[in-house]
Structure 1
Amino acid sequence: MGTHWSVQVENRVAVVTISNPPANALSKHVLEELSESLTALENDPAVKVVIITGEGRFFIAGADIKEFTHMDGADGKAAAERGQRLFDRLETFPKPIIAAINGACLGGGLELAMACHIRLAAAEAKLGLPELNLGLIPGYGGTQRLPRLVGRGRATQMILTSEMIGGEEACRIGLAEAVYPAEQLLDEAKKLAYAISEKSAVTMKLALEAVHGSATLPLDEGLAREAALFGQAFQTQDVKEGVAAFLEKRKPKFSDL
């Protein structure tokens, strides 16, 4: 992986940790390294589930503000488009990605977390989109993903006030799926990842594609996509094994286990 991203694989689960002191900021170089890491993880048959977390007290505290000092309008648009493409890749990644939000998760950090498939937060975490404090707006998808997760009104309030919320509140409004004490967070993320990793990789990929359609397609098109993917599942060996295991009252042995 890159110099700012480390990876540890255990039981088919990759824990990817950002380390870019002091606040794990997302510089252009750090984002490029993340893209390279995603390519390696996608192509690694030993990895079925990915956890992204931060080193130290921070998850990711945002973009590298120093890079903004020499940017004009065209530069800003290009930077936003690069970040959006990368986070779109996270959202459509063929393997489940869990964000373990261990600390400050602000700006681009929250935008990254919102692009992950599942978010778990430490109670001590702080989540928010403070870009308006800098005279900016969120640019890596925050204005689009936050309303889809918490509702338009709550998202508008958070964006316009630059409000930071804790893990408990993030869970209450649907920005996180669960909240844990910081010292338990990574272990709980691993437990969830291990449970998911027992499923068939090929059908997990189909399920992720179907769920993503719920956010991007009208209902009738989403249902058509689901039916097509349901049919694809029947073309795999894993459906035969899964059905046989159910009827024989045993645990399935999917092709990638």
Structure 2
Amino acid sequence: MSAALVLLAQPFAGCAVLTLNRPQAANALSMQLRRELVVALERCEADPQVRVLVLTGAGKAFCAGLDLKELASATDPGQALASAPEFDPVLALRRCSKPVIAAINGVAVTGGFELALACDVLLASSEARFADTHARVGVIPGWGLSQLLPRLVGPYRAKELSLTGNFLDAQRAEAWGLVNRVVAPEQLLPEALQLARDMLAVQPQMLQQYKRLIADGLQVSLREGLALEAERSRACAADFIASDDTARLRAR
């Protein structure tokens, strides 16, 4: 029986760690790995005991993007490039209502870069590197990189990366605001797990509600976002009053 391409572990209550497990192929996203990652994410989404996720890679790479060897040997390359929901881990990450922490342990290239950007918090090892090689291989992004990257680092920096395919090291990624912080390789997973513990310390329902509010607000203008926040704040206050939870009201 072949080894699982996505390992799922629960190091402590409330936290799930998903590890891409093709280290010999730099965790390249074969169709089978993509499918297993979607299944693992859906399993975590459906499990009320899982409230925070950590996504990382086995070995020296986070993810090298789509499996180019698989694409080259495929009788139907269009199928190998399939963006159907069952093969789309980025869509599964965006659908996940729970916070996902990316622990980027090595290279995150093209589709792997998009996978990282679909997470909520990005922690990088000092050995991590990022690259967008879509233009080099002649493929237009399909998982959001052309739209997300300019919004995160600015259009000029995004064009430098995407129109060259050059690598961006972890330290410069932090300086550009692309990752939250950079840590020593041996501290990456402990740091991610501590952050997960910190998130688990907040009010349980707030993890999903606040994540959704931030995501929804970023899709609209600032004026609309402020109105959205006010609307949900009123609904939250009404829920507090209805539950007669005065202790939580005082804490707020």
Range of TM-score over shorter length: 0.7 to 0.9
SS in structure 2 at match of 1:217: coil
- Is 2:56–2:104's contact at 8 Å kept on the other side of the alignment? yes
Alpha-carbon deviation of 1:170?
0.8
- Is 2:31–2:80's contact at 8 Å kept on the other side of the alignment? no
**Residues 1:78 and 1:68: Cα distance change in structure 2 (over 3 Å):** closer
Question: 1:227 matched to which residue of 2?
Answer: 230
Question: 2:7 matched to which residue of 1?
Answer: 6
Question: 2:149 matched to which residue of 1?
Answer: 146
Alpha-carbon deviation of 1:219?
2.0
Alpha-carbon deviation of 1:139?
2.5
Question: 1:200 matched to which residue of 2?
Answer: 203
Question: 1:254 matched to which residue of 2?
Answer: none
SS in structure 2 at match of 1:216: coil
Question: 1:36 matched to which residue of 2?
Answer: 39
The structure 2 residue matched to 1:115, chosen from 118, 121, 140, is 118
TM-score (norm 2): 0.87
Post-superposition Cα deviations, 1:115-174, rounded to whole Å, max 9, x if no partner, equal: 101100011111111122212233221111111111111111100010111111111101
CA separation in 2, counterparts of 1:12 and 1:198? 10
CA separation in 1, counterparts of 2:159 and 2:171? 20
1:242 matched to 2:248? The reply is yes
Question: 1:177 matched to which residue of 2?
Answer: 180
CA separation in 2, counterparts of 1:58 and 1:113? 12
CA separation in 1, counterparts of 2:79 and 2:6? 25
Gaps of 5+ in 1: 248-257
Instruction: Give the AA of the match of 2:130.
Output: L
**Residues 1:229 and 1:78: Cα distance change in structure 2 (over 3 Å):** farther
1:44-123 equivalent positions in 2, closer than 5 A = 44-69=47-72, 70=74, 75=78, 79-80=82-83, 82=85, 86-123=89-126
- Is 1:133–1:162's contact at 8 Å kept on the other side of the alignment? yes
**Residues 1:105 and 1:172: Cα distance change in structure 2 (over 3 Å):** same
SS in structure 2 at match of 1:48: strand
CA separation in 1, counterparts of 2:160 and 2:7? 35
Question: 1:255 matched to which residue of 2?
Answer: none
- Is 2:38–2:88's contact at 8 Å kept on the other side of the alignment? no
Instruction: Give the AA of the match of 2:204.
Output: A
Post-superposition Cα deviations, 1:48-73, rounded to whole Å, max 9, x if no partner, equal: 11000001101111111123334779
CA separation in 1, counterparts of 2:41 and 2:221? 29
Q: What is the alpha-carbon root mean square deviation over aligned residues?
A: 2.5
CA separation in 2, counterparts of 1:207 and 1:238? 21
Instruction: Give the AA of the match of 2:16.
Output: A
Post-superposition Cα deviations, 1:19-75, rounded to whole Å, max 9, x if no partner, equal: 0132101112211111111111012122111000001101111111123334779x2
Question: 1:250 matched to which residue of 2?
Answer: none
- Is 1:105–1:127's contact at 8 Å kept on the other side of the alignment? yes
1:125-144 equivalent positions in 2, closer than 5 A = 125-144=128-147
CA separation in 1, counterparts of 2:93 and 2:245? 27
Alpha-carbon deviation of 1:14?
1.0
- Is 1:7–1:15's contact at 8 Å kept on the other side of the alignment? yes
The structure 1 residue matched to 2:28, chosen from 25, 30, 34, is 25
CA separation in 2, counterparts of 1:241 and 1:107? 48
Question: 1:251 matched to which residue of 2?
Answer: none
Alpha-carbon deviation of 1:92?
4.3
